């Protein structure tokens, strides 16, 4: 197998599944070279519905150059409400054109501000806020700028179509719209494209080391950051002088500064509860993200080990746990329903394989939490070995507040019809919620993940 880029290996992604040399180039040369549109699945009432019964205003926003969290903060500031009143279904990147849903508690259409780089379309009202995951998936259109070998894209598509396990027996798939498959890794953005440390923070939290978690976030300078930021991170890591660090950390690093304020306001030497309080200064979704990143790192390691052992991704082996398809998914989108699981014993391997071949079932691996039951057989060996290496067990995720996680399972393979166009080289496809476009793109470009954005 072709080894992954070292930066990817640092977050558990050890291999490519296509052997062909990458096309090279980069994504996001311009914001409109990376387009994302949510495949929506959230019902609303008319905008003139009773706001007492339907207090959440729902709107669709097309954003240019806005990170989801930053846009939510800008919106809440303009409305004069807590940021916790603003909700969304999926977090999107800053360097892109993104179309996604938001809800705001207690707002009227006339309250919505004009925001530069945002086009807002009010859809209606709802009785509850949007929650993370209130979408079926996302449709992507990615342009690879200045590729070195665009002609390699066709061969890569052939290899990924074979990995999907759905190739026509006579090999008559069309060149465009072929179904490809890739391991359902968590992409580099999950951990930080330029500063991949969120899983390190999360691992420290799950191990109960709140000080290490705070220092992993405040310290750990990387070459991708401005020199002044690197110096500030090095200073706080070496001195633990919270007040002086506040003088050095730039205002744009508002989350770090918020944590430093909590530590600086402590009259005594910070104890574990103070360090935890510093982390709890962050927005609730970021608190959850740390633990999710730790789970994601373990998941990536499990997939890499399954690849190394040569176990299939498109069908089960004895001991695997599969989940079944969401029957309400939009046409053409394979959407796993992890609430419907089945353990595959020797008697069921053949029948479940047929379901997998038809896109009705998916082999899974765990995002470990308190309620996780590990697989049996060789996949179970992989899961236990990864957790042992990380010094983790399911009970460790019994944590306070937003850090608690019961866990779930996640499909190990993601398949999608992909349209390939040239001049410019463009990849168009759709993925279920939670899957990463860059996990598809990395197989084509095979570059430093920084160049994937």
Number of domains in the chain: 4
Element (H, E) at 243: helix 242-248
Mean pLDDT, range 11-26, rounded to an integer: 98
> Which of 282, 316, 339 is the last residue before a domain boundary?
282
Residue 51: give the domain boundaries: 42-133
235 located within any domain: yes
Query: How far is the C-alpha of 124 from the C-alpha of 50, rounded, in Å?
Result: 11
pLDDT at 167: 55
DSSP letter, residue 123? E
Taking 3-state DSSP, the helix, strand and coil percentages for the chain, each rounded to the nearest 5, stand at 40, 20, 40
Which phi-psi region, left, alpha or beta, contains residue 377 (left: φ > 0; alpha: ψ -120 to 50)? left
Do 268 and 226 fall into the same domain? Answer: yes
**Segment 396-433, tens digit of pLDDT:** 999 999 999 999 999 999 999 999 999 999 999 999 99
Q: Residue 410's beta-bridge partner residues?
A: 365
Q: Tell me the pLDDT tens digit for each residue of 89-143.
A: 988 888 899 999 999 999 999 999 999 999 999 999 999 999 988 999 999 999 9
* Angle between helices 272-279 and 210-218 in degrees, nearest 10: 50
Task: Between 174 and 295, name the one with better pLDDT.
Answer: 295
Q: Residue 278: pLDDT above 70?
A: yes
pLDDT band, residue 388 (cuts 50/70/90) = very high
Asked if residue 308 and residue 165 are part of one domain, the reply reads no
Whether residue 406 sits in one domain with residue 359: yes
Look at residue 360 and tell me if it is in a domain: yes
Question: Residue 35 pLDDT > 60, yes or no?
Answer: yes
Mean model confidence pLDDT for the chain: 94
Catalytic residues: 93
What is the average pLDDT across 233-244?
A: 96
Percent of the chain residues topping a pLDDT of 90:
90
User: What pLDDT sits at residue 133?
Assistant: 87
- Measured in degrees and rounded to the nearest 5, phi and psi for residue 38 equal -65, 140
Residue 309 domain flag: yes
Q: How far is CA 235 from CA 35, 231, 247, 304, in A?
A: 39, 6, 11, 36
Residues 156, 27 share a domain: yes
Nearest to 371 by CA among 397, 400, 342, 345: 397
Would the pLDDT of 172 be above 90? no
Residues 322 and 401 in one domain: yes
| pLDDT attached to residue 325 | 95
**Residue 297, CB-side half-sphere exposure with 13 Å CA sphere:** 25
Give the model's pLDDT for residue 174. Answer: 44
Residue 166 CA from chain centroid, whole number: 26
Q: Which of 204, 223, 224 is nearest to 215 (CA)?
A: 204
Residues 23 and 163 in one domain: yes
Residue at 392 is within a domain: yes
**339 and 397 share a domain?**
yes
- Is residue 190 assigned to a domain? no
CATH number at residue 144: 3.30.2350.20
Give me the pLDDT at residue 327, please: 87
In the three-class reduction of DSSP (H, G, I as helix; E, B as strand; rest coil), residue 409 is classed as strand
Helices assigned H by DSSP within 13-152? 68-79
| Rounded Cα gap, residues 16 and 3, in angstroms | 6
Q: What is the pLDDT of residue 173?
A: 46
Pairing of strands 97-105, 34-40: parallel
176: pLDDT confidence band, cut at 50, 70 and 90? very low
């Amino acid at each position: 197998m072709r080894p992954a880029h070292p930066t990817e290996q640092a977050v558990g992604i050890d291999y490519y599944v296509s052997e062909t040399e990458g096309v090279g180039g980069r994504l996001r040369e311009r914001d409109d070279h990376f387009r994302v549109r949510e495949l929506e699945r959230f019902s609303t009432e008319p905008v003139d519905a009773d706001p007492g019964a339907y207090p959440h205003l729902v709107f669709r926003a097309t954003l240019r150059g806005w990170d989801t969290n930053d846009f939510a903060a800008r919106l809440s500031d303009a409305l004069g409400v807590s940021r916790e009143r603003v909700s969304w279904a999926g977090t999107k990147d800053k360097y892109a054109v993104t179309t996604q849903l938001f809800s705001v508690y207690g707002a009227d259409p006339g309250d919505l501000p004009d925001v530069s780089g945002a086009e807002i379309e009010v859809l209606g009202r709802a009785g509850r806020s949007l929650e993370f995951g209130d979408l079926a998936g996302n449709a992507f259109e990615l342009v690879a700028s200045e590729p070195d070998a665009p002609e390699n894209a066709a061969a890569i598509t052939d290899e990924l179509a074979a990995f999907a396990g759905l190739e026509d027996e006579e090999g008559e798939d069309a060149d465009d719209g072929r179904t490809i498959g890739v391991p359902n890794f968590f992409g580099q953005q999950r951990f930080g494209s330029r500063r991949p440390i969120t899983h390190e923070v999360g691992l420290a939290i799950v191990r109960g080391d709140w000080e290490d978690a705070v220092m992993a976030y405040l310290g750990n300078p990387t070459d991708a950051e401005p020199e002044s930021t690197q110096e500030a991170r090095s200073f706080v890591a070496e001195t633990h002088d919270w007040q002086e660090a506040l003088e050095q950390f730039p205002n744009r690093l508002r989350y770090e500064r918020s944590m430093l304020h909590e530590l600086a306001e402590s009259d005594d030497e910070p104890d574990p509860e103070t360090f935890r309080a510093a982390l709890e200064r962050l927005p609730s979704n970021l608190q959850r993200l740390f633990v999710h990143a730790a789970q994601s790192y373990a998941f990536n390691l499990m997939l890499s080990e399954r690849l190394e052992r040569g176990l299939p991704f498109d069908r089960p082996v004895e001991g695997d746990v599969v989940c079944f398809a969401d029957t309400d998914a939009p046409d053409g989108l394979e959407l796993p329903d992890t609430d419907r699981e089945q353990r595959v014993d020797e008697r069921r391997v053949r029948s479940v394989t047929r379901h997998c071949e038809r896109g009705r079932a998916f082999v899974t691996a765990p995002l470990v939490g308190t309620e996780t039951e590990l697989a049996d057989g060789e996949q179970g060996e992989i899961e236990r070995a990864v957790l042992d290496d990380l010094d983790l067990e399911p009970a460790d995720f019994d944590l306070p507040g937003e850090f608690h996680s019961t866990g779930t399972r996640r499909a190990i393979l993601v398949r999608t019809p992909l349209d390939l166009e040239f001049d410019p080289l463009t990849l168009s496809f759709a993925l279920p919620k939670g899957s990463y476009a860059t996990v598809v793109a990395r197989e084509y470009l095979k570059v430093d993940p920084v160049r994937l954005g």
